[in-house]
Amino acid sequence: MENLRICFTGKHEVQLLGAPVDAPQPQQVLVQTSKTLISTGTETICYGRLFDPGTHWDDWVKYPFATGYSLVGHVLAVGRAVTDFKEGDRVAIRAAHQSFVITTPKDLYHIPAEVSDEDATWFRLATIAQNGVRRADHKLGDAVVVVGLGLLGQLVTQYTRLLGARQVIAIDPAHNRLVMASAHGATTTLAMTVEAAYDEVMRLTGDAGADVVYEITGAAPVFAAALRLPRRFGCLLLLGDTGKPASQHLTPDVILKGLRVVGAHDGNPPALSTDHAPWSHRKMAELFFSYLGRGDMRVSDLVTHRYAPHQAAEAYNMLMERRADAMGVIFDWTQLT
């Protein structure tokens, strides 16, 4: 068997690269992939090298760069010492876009029967969004603004409604993104830039501003404009990881209004749950799966594009040219044969 990986081999260059698939060692599991989800923000930044020299992005993206981190498949074989998984189990794992994965049981997530493979591919983005929502320290009845309604923005919209927000004001120039946000919990949608939205946000919040504002665009100039939107002693949660951090600037709002500016990143949660820090990646993924299974969250209707792995160049070029037209973009690895 050959493991095929989707790799960036240069700026705007992508190839399927192959390598042999080994049999699993006693403590390992071999997974055959069914679906993977593109992290459209992160992966387009990497594909187009949309980052400044010397940033952590520059240190990370080295060619050939195996892209992606949300994979779902089934267990094809297990080592003789593995007891937690068996052949045929459906599993999710943080791994790049590829046809097979050899891993250890501790890195695998069981997928409940009521959750589809496509829905399960959202688990990594769901834990990133959930970590951000937890760091915002919400209170029942908060007025929330979500700036940027890409994948993370759609998930944050759903999480904040689950937490009991009285208002979820969604801001994005792309009309189709706002339609999706409205169908998933946004109480008001504003088809405009964050700069233009200030007066309307003030009107909607009684001139107070929002309790929590999420800046999830990944566009450096948006940060300063978003700082105008929280109320006094409110919070701005920075969830979009820009490729140009030196272009993000504080404004007098931080001091004059006593704002909390909170950063949230995939690396924040603990590796293992403890009494003091219970919400590990695993616990958050399991919670997401339970929300999907109960119908408290929906992602199936957020999928807009599906590609076979050999269409990777087409997929990434589409995202570079028409990203606002896309939301969930799936690679279907069952189309390899």
Nearest Cα residue to 75 out of 97, 91, 60, 95:
91
Residue 67 included in any domain: yes
Is the distance from CB of 181 to CB of 160 less than 8 angstroms? no
Q: Rounded CA gap, 147 and 125, in Å?
A: 17
Residue 96 included in any domain: yes
What CATH number is attached to the domain comprising 48? Answer: 3.90.180.10
Average pLDDT (187-213) is 98
Pair (114, 139) in one structural domain: no
Pair (66, 161) in one structural domain: no
Residue 282 included in any domain: no
Is it the case that residue 176 has pLDDT exceeding 70? yes
Residue 293 included in any domain: no
Q: In Å, how far are 72, 94, 154, 216, 308 from 69, measured between CA atoms? A: 10, 5, 19, 19, 17
Model confidence band, residue 12 (pLDDT cutoffs 50, 70, 90): very high
Question: Residue 54's domain spans which residues?
Answer: 2-122+299-336
Q: Say what the pLDDT of residue 337 is.
A: 63
Residue 226 included in any domain: yes
Q: What percent of the chain has pLDDT over 90?
A: 96
Q: Which residues contact 26 (CB under 8 A, 6 or more apart)?
A: 79, 80, 81, 82
pLDDT per residue as tens digits for the range 270-309: 989 999 999 999 999 999 999 999 999 999 999 999 999 9
Residue 251 included in any domain: yes
Pair (117, 180) in one structural domain: no
What is the pTM for the complete model shown? 0.95
Q: Rounded CA gap, 74 and 177, in Å?
A: 32
Q: Rounded CA gap, 216 and 133, in Å?
A: 12
Q: Say what the pLDDT of residue 241 is.
A: 86
φ, ψ for residue 301, nearest 5 deg: -85, 5
Average pLDDT (184-192) is 98
Q: Rounded CA gap, 230 and 32, in Å?
A: 46
What is the torsion angle, in degrees rounded to the nearest 10, for the CA atoms of residue 43, residue 35, residue 63 and residue 42? 10
Pair (76, 131) in one structural domain: no
pLDDT per residue as tens digits for the range 219-234: 999 999 999 999 999 9
- Mean pLDDT for the chain overall: 96
Q: Say what the pLDDT of residue 240 is.
A: 80
Residue 285 included in any domain: no
Domain end call among 206, 238, 263: 263
Is it the case that residue 7 has pLDDT exceeding 90? yes
Count structural domains, the chain: 2
Pair (114, 229) in one structural domain: no
pLDDT per residue as tens digits for the range 56-88: 999 999 999 999 999 999 999 999 999 999 999
pLDDT per residue as tens digits for the range 146-173: 999 999 999 999 999 999 999 999 999 9
Pair (141, 105) in one structural domain: no
Residue 24 included in any domain: yes
The two tokens of residue 110 are: 């069981």
Pair (46, 137) in one structural domain: no
Pair (221, 304) in one structural domain: no
What CATH number is attached to the domain comprising 156? Answer: 3.40.50.720
Model confidence band, residue 13 (pLDDT cutoffs 50, 70, 90): very high
Pair (189, 111) in one structural domain: no
Average pLDDT (164-187) is 97
Strand partners, 66: 7
Q: Say what the pLDDT of residue 1 is.
A: 87
